[in-house]
Each structure stands twice: as C-alpha cells, then as structure tokens.
Amino acid sequence: MSPFIAHLLRFARELREAGLRVTTAQVVRFVQALRHIDIADRETFRDVARCTLVSHRLEVLAFERVFARFWTHAADALSAAVSPSPEDVRSSAQAAAQVGLVLRQSPRPEPSPDADPRRVVDRASTYSAEEILRRKRFDELCPDELAAVTRMMQRISWRLELRRSRRHRPASRGRQPDWRRTIASAVRYDGEWISRRWRQRTAVPRPLVVIADVSGSMERYTRLLLTFLHIITQRGTQHGQRQRVETFVFGTRLTRITRTFGTRDIDAALTEVSRQVVDWAGGTRIGDSLRAFNRRWARRVLGRGAAVLVISDGWDRGDPALVRREVARLHRSCSRLVWLNPLIGTRDFAPRTRGLVAALPHVDDFLPVHNLASLEGLARHLAALPSSPKHGRPAQQPARLRGNGLSGSDSLSA
C-alpha cells in the first residue's frame, strides 16, 4: 500500500471514530476524486472530502474538527506525495478490498502487566450480545455483526394478516346457506330438507409489494434492506398458500427484481441485482419512479387487497408536486401504504425533506427501519393489518414524532 493511500485511510478511520458513518464505497470514491485536483490545496481537498465522506448535515461539525486536526499533522506528507497513481485506484473492486480490510482493523489496547486478570461481570445488569445487535443501527455494524444480524433476521416470522376472499368454502355453521350442497343432500331423502348446509368466505394471504430506494443517500442501508427483501420473498408461503411478493428498486428509474430474488442464494441474487440496476447509488427521483410503477405495474400487482411498502429516506431531486400526485394515486390503488424511513432512528430527525413533505399526507403508516428491532416491529404491524381495506384507522407514526407534535398534516406544516 502506498504512503498516500495510508494517509487517506488514517483520515477515514479518524472520521469513523468521531461518529461519521463512512463506508468503503465512499472512501473509494474519495480516492478516485483526488486524481482530478491539486491535493496541496487545503480548501479543494476539504471540499472533495466533505462531498464524498459526509452523508448528513449533522456530521458536518465532527468532520470539520477531524479535518482540521488531520491537515495539521498530514499537510506536509500529502504535499510531498503525488496524486493517487492509476495503480492505487486500478479498479473499484481492488480499491474496495484494500480499503475495507484496513477500515475493519481496530487496534486493541495492550493489557497492563499490573492489571488483575480476573474479571467479574454482573450478568443481571448487562444486555446479551443479541439484544445489543437488535438495537444497533444497520449503518454502524461491522462485517461480523452484519452476518449475525442476517442470521437473526432469518428467524423473524413474516406473516401478513389474511384477507377475506370472494370465494367460499363449506362450513359446519355460519350465516350464509350453501344452497347447492343443501339441495344435493335433500335429494337423498326424497326432497326433504333434513339438514341445512352452510358456507363461509375463505381467507387468503394478502399480496405484498415492496418499492425500495437504492440511491446514494440510502447506500449505507441498501445491502441489509435487500437481504430483508430477499428473506420475505423466500418466505412466500403461509397457511399452506402461496403469498405473492413483488419487489422493485429505484434510484432515478424503476427496476423490477422479483424474478432475481427467486434465487435462494442471497449473494448471487444481490450480485445480479447490482448488475441489473444501472442507477445504483446514484440520484433519487421518487416521483418519476412511482409514476412508472403506477402506469406500468399497478394494475398487474396491486389487486386482491395488496399492501405496499415504500422504503426511502425521502431525499428527492425531482418535482415535489409529482411526488404528491403519484403517492396519492398509489394510495388509492392499494389497501395499505406503509412508508419505511431509516433516518427516523437518527438524532433530531423530523420529516422536512421535500419528498416526505409531499408524500406523508397520503401515507397510512410512517415507520422506522434502521435496526433489527424496527424490522421485528414491522413484522408485528404487518401481521395485524385489518382484513378489510381502507378501514379509516389513523396513520401510525413513531412515538417520538407524535410526542413532538409531528403527526399527520401537522408534521408537514411545522
């Protein structure tokens, strides 16, 4: 590894220690961007680092502190270094592997020779490892924790509340007479009605449609959320009946990945999805993507009381009026519209983005999806959906938002 790359990795590690959620892909883009600037220019270097490594406005102050400290100690070394050579960033895959390996290394403090080797832990006042992982944010997990959370995710029971179908089946008692079976039985007794037969409406699994945002602002959550979508697609059978799950992803355009997620191998499925989705980790156009869904796919997949999950942080580069119009149209076409936002679990969050302000008046439920506990809560919520669509229940929002007065239309005008 060249000294230049080592300096940059040290900078990225300090940012992560300061609380910034710097991903491997962000560091790779940072290294590639430095090929096009004069790295001895402090302001230009800072602007490039901020554009590629900072993902939220709440991280700006911490970034400025770390950068000031880093530049004081590393300015001479960076000035003497040449710009990253083509060998340093020969390919994104090689750079990602090199960067990821170093970022995952966390130095462990050496034990003191005078320290007592015995450790007494009161287990009654400590959380288990699984309980800690349940509450830890997806974008703060290390690779080992990611694998553990994926295994725990497999144990979640995904069952949508059954809906009443128009079809009927025989019943021992009920309120609807089954005249066909009643008359057929009366024939055996010379037309005498010895017993009356009944029927009742059958209950069938409710279709589920998922529309997930895979743009750059959602990159820190994309892999785990796609793993979650793959799991619920593979768990498509309940009560002996096949539940239909349709999956779409979008950045600046809509892509259907339902067939791709039919593969049982999650790694193979994600690799194929990354090949199909040309706008992966790019910009976001929620309105255009939902318009494509409403025009091309809504009539095909939204029948039979389908519930819709939209997973997005609400950051949008398109027209808010288009978002409002298309979300309203989508809400009219489905039995339940649930918006999942991974930013709800962050500090000082409020639905202020243009996309959310336009969409929330037409959303039935606005829920978090930032850790395993929120996914478990989503599973319970889906299992409790009413059997009758559009029942008039008010939208559900996180308690913290309701406590701040951010509920319904009031949250949008605040």
pLDDT for residue 409: 36
pLDDT for residue 376: 92
pTM of model > 0.85: no
Cα 286 from Cα 195, distance rounded (Å): 59
**How many CB atoms sit inside 10 A of residue 169's CB?**
11
Name the one residue in this structure whose structure tokens are 């130095």. Answer: 107
Q: How far apart are the first and last CA of the chain?
A: 51
Cα 290 from Cα 305, distance rounded (Å): 19
Mean pLDDT of 17-46: 83
Ranges 247-251, 315-319, 343-347: which has the least confidence? 343-347
- Diameter over CA atoms, the chain: 106
Task: Look at residues 369, 354, 361 and name the one whose alpha carbon lies nearest to residue 394.
Answer: 361
pLDDT digits (tens, 9 = 90+) for 257-293: 999 998 889 889 988 998 999 888 888 999 999 999 9
Structure-model confidence comparison of residues 268 and 72, the more confident one: 268
Is the per-residue pLDDT at 414 higher than 50?
no
Confidence band, pLDDT 50/70/90 cuts, at residue 338: very high
pLDDT for residue 96: 46
Ranges 146-155, 171-180, 336-345, 371-380: which has the least confidence? 171-180
CA 288 to chain centre: 20
Q: Which of 30-44, 118-132, 329-343 has the highest mean pLDDT?
A: 329-343
pLDDT digits (tens, 9 = 90+) for 105-141: 444 444 445 544 444 444 444 446 788 888 888 888 8
> What b-and-e string marks burial along 192-221, b requiring 16 or more CB atoms within 10 Å of the CB?
eeeeebbbbbeebbbbbbbbbbbbbbbbbb
Is the per-residue pLDDT at 315 higher than 80?
yes
Determine what percent of the chain is predicted with pLDDT higher than 90.
27
Residue ranges covered by each domain of the chain: 3-77, 164-205, 208-384
316 CB-near residues (< 8 Å, 6+ apart): 284, 285, 286, 287, 323, 353, 354, 355
Which CATH homologous superfamily contains domain 208-384? von Willebrand factor, type A domain (3.40.50.410)
pLDDT for residue 368: 94
Look over the chain and give the mean of its residue pLDDT values, rounded to a whole number.
78
Cα 9 from Cα 368, distance rounded (Å): 32
Is the per-residue pLDDT at 405 higher than 60?
no
Ranges 3-12, 91-100, 202-211, 221-230: which has the least confidence? 91-100
Mean pLDDT of 207-216: 93
Ranges 38-47, 109-118, 137-146, 348-357: which has the least confidence? 109-118
Confidence band, pLDDT 50/70/90 cuts, at residue 77: low
Q: Which of 33-42, 172-181, 225-234 has the highest mean pLDDT?
A: 225-234
